[in-house]
Amino acid sequence: MLNEIEIFEKQVKEQVERNEKLIADYAEWMKQNKLSEKTINKHLNNVSLFANDFLLYSEITPIEKGHIQIDYYFDYWFKRKVMSSVTDLKENITSIKKFYTYLNSVNKISKIDLDEMNFYIKKAKGDWIKNANNYFDDLMEDY
């Protein structure tokens, strides 16, 4: 009989396998759209971090529902866990937008969800960048 931790770990493993299938399909889609290998790898790394680390960090969130947590990801989790520059933040925003555009094109998320996410990103991106700069400034003051 599995305990709660083992059950959670099994569910995470299953979700990672599902995510990796979607991410592999996304890689193929990018190749067909003639993106460079460097760009493809950057997007895949960024999307994998979002899908397999953030969305599975404290609970299991399917990729198709991940866009709902985009603000928390970019305004809090990402900058504290992995961001090394504002450029890094901007590149990750682009990667997530492109990935969800792909998910919409293969009917994994609705056009309404995609449009809402893109509208929210457009509205919040400036604040995320400002907050990231403030975060880095505060870190520098501590040294």
Q: Band the pLDDT of 143: cuts 50, 70, 90.
A: low
Sign of CA dihedral 83, 84, 90, 96: negative
Report the pLDDT averaged over residues 64-77: 94
DSSP state of 35: -
Give me the chain's average pLDDT, please. 93
In this prediction the pTM is: 0.91
Report pLDDT for 142: 60
C-alpha separations of 45 from 31, 51, 95 in Å: 15, 10, 9
Between 79 and 102, name the one with better pLDDT: 102
Rounded CA-CA distance 117/49 in Å is 18
If pLDDT is split at 50, 70 and 90, which confidence band does 84 have? confident
CA angle 141, 126, 119 (to 5 degrees): 150
Answer yes or no: is pLDDT of 29 > 80. Answer: yes
> What span, in angstroms and rounded, lies between the C-alpha atoms of 28 and 57?
27
